[in-house]
Structure 1
Amino acid sequence: MSANEFTVIGHRGARGHAPENTLLAIDTAIRLGAPWVEFDVQLHDSGELLVFHDLTLDRTTNGQGFLASQSLGMLRALDAGQGQQIPTLIEVLDLVEQQVGVNIELKSAGGTGEAVASVIRSYLEAGWPPEKFLVSSFHLPELWEFKQYAPEIPIGALICGVPLDWAGCAVELGAATLNLSSEFVDPRLIADAHKHGIKVFVYTVNDPAEMRMLREMGVDGVFSDYPDRALAVTAG
């Protein structure tokens, strides 16, 4: 992420083109040219880190009920769309193979940060540079916990609103990015983040006109279900 770069991040892989948070979605984003991919991670009771967004299975799989109440074997047998499995964090990282940067969003608490840090540590030891990772979360205490175990990995504070102290939460965490809902983009928030050397990434942006507007406002990048659209805007 260079200083003047407008960063395009494939949201849940390339959710607009393939079933979200699957290996197919991640691979599609890479093939479309996205320099970064974002996906969600939850810690299952089995100790496995699963790439999945919702608390329940109904929306994106042929299963029902809460993810946390199902066995790992049952979860892995589900169809997550187009015959895709619910992948593990390790499977996604092995697919990526440093081709692109990865933004791992911590969706669950209760040790998720520590578990993700442990996995990332093994990839750092295998030669991945820390800057290939960005770990983010709405659950800021869990993000802080992750930072204690992997201080060299950049983190992103996820927010859905405009805090009273502007970018204060990201500053306090030592975050590299503030990941902000498109509904709450405020020039003063962008300015405050930039004053502290923090990049502002906006989610989830699929309209090219909105992408251009955000870029003109000084936003540093966008999460998009259609990374190809965002790449076309950056090339224009």
Structure 2
Amino acid sequence: MSAPFSLMTWNVNSIRARLDNVLTYLDEHQPDVACLQETKVEDQLFPRVPFMELGYQVALNGTKGYAGVATLTKRAKPEDVQLGFAEGKPDKHRRILACTFAGVRIYNLYVPNGTALGTDAFTYKLEWLERLRVELATRFSAGDSVILCGDFNVARDERDVWSVEAMAGCTHFTPEEHAALDGFEQLGLRDCFRKHDQAAGRFTWFDYRDGCWEKKHGLRIDYVYASAPMYERCAEVVHDWEPREWDTPSDHVPVTAKFS
């Protein structure tokens, strides 16, 4: 069995805007793997050096504007790095960075938002999720060590939204999006957080607008999904709300999973 390790996933909503917060958090918590989403910077402009000074090796799939993902690893260099989908035409945005760490295939994901029902953006989101499902089904078997983590932009069930009524007619909480998550679960991937905590209100995202953080009106849309071997090894998943209180916070909070 591989050595124990911890994995953190965090949509940082611009690494340059949130650099001090991210560095502070990594220095305090020292996850072995840190998967960052929505980095919003081209690879050549990513601030590598401060992360290297903390002992991290850096793999990037970045872009300006929005989207972009980065995976940081300690103890070992990320192996077999894959940028985007494994096959087929390139994605129009940089949303996937897959690598192998300690024998585990880790997919760092920034799933499309979808914008609004009935739009091309929503169709793109569903097609994107299906394309990922097919890739996973093709490349991995149930006994492989695989983790999917990141911002999925889907709230799984009623416990994961502050108000079912408020979500009516909105993206992130539709039958189509839930069916997409069903597709991953049918491959044997499971939601590690729900192994340990069944409570409602364990949100990972709070809108900047309308006092949502203060009212604790949020969504749980950031996940660590794992294949059976990794699910069994998952000893803990923590949603850390503290950084949401910091100056210039991301609208997402870090999620950390520990594997024995």
TM tier, smaller: 0.3 to 0.5
Select the structure that is richer in helix.
Answer: 1
Output the TM-score relative to the length of structure 2: 0.36
Select the structure that is richer in strand.
Answer: 2
Output the TM-score relative to the length of structure 1: 0.39
